[in-house]
């Protein structure tokens, strides 16, 4: 399970989970037809990580252009999964990218920080 990759589509985000380079990324548009099926695969993959098999500090980048409300629920589940991994000793530095004028995307990242009680770096991108 070194690398897990999904190409982005008009409705689903690009996904790169790269254990070797310790870089994780979900980016693009997210409004899958079946949100649960799409994100459960990612949550299950992350759920298999444990401190006995992986070591070091990992980077997790979220860079959504758009996500629907159903996706926001499953992203929260995924972030909670990262929080559980953190408790197990696997540290993720989480970056939440948003377009500078997109206040709603920024607020969503802040809500995740509060709800999951996890540090998320908010990074604005000039458009």
Partner 1 sequence: MEEFDNHSLFNLHRSIIKEHMEFLYKGNITVDVVNILLQIVKNKFNEFKIDYSLQKRIYNIAVECLENVSDHGVSGSDIDSIFLIGKVDGVFIIGTGNIINNNVTNSLGSSLNKINTLDREGLKLIYKEKMTEQLGSDSNDAGLGLIDIALKANNKLDYQINPVNAGQDFFSFQVKINL
Q: Summarize as ranges the residues that interact with partner 1 (CB under 8 A).
A: 10-11, 31, 33-36, 40, 66, 68-70, 72-73, 76-77, 80, 99, 101-105, 111, 114-115, 127
Cα–Cα nearest to 4, from 22, 21, 16, 13:
16
Min dist CB 96 to partner 1, Å, is 16
Residue 3 or 115: the one with the smaller Cβ distance to partner 1 is 115
97 with 123: CB under 8 angstroms?
yes
Min dist CB 61 to partner 1, Å, is 20
Residue 61 or 83: the one with the smaller Cβ distance to partner 1 is 83
Sheet holding 91-99, edge to edge: 3-6, 14-18, 23-30, 57-67, 91-99, 120-125
Q: Compute φ and ψ for 44, nearest 5 degrees.
A: -60, -40
Residue 57 or 126: the one with the smaller Cβ distance to partner 1 is 126
Residue 88 or 100: the one with the smaller Cβ distance to partner 1 is 100
Q: Compute φ and ψ for 34, nearest 5 degrees.
A: -125, 90
Sign of the torsion angle spanned by Cα atoms 91, 31, 77, 117: positive
Min dist CB 29 to partner 1, Å, is 10
Min dist CB 54 to partner 1, Å, is 25
Strand partners, 6: 15
């Amino acid at each position: 399970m070194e690398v897990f990759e999904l190409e982005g589509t008009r409705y689903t985000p690009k996904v790169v989970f790269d254990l070797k380079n310790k870089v994780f990324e979900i980016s693009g548009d997210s409004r899958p037809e079946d949100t649960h099926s799409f994100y459960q695969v990612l949550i299950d993959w992350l759920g298999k990580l444990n401190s006995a098999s992986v070591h070091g500090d990992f980077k997790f980048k979220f860079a959504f252009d758009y996500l629907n409300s159903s996706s926001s629920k499953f992203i929260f589940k995924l972030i909670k999964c990262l929080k559980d991994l953190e408790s197990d000793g696997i540290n993720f530095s989480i970056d939440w990218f948003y377009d500078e004028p997109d206040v709603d995307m920024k607020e969503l990242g802040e809500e995740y920080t509060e709800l999951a009680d996890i540090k998320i770096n908010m990074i604005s991108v000039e458009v």
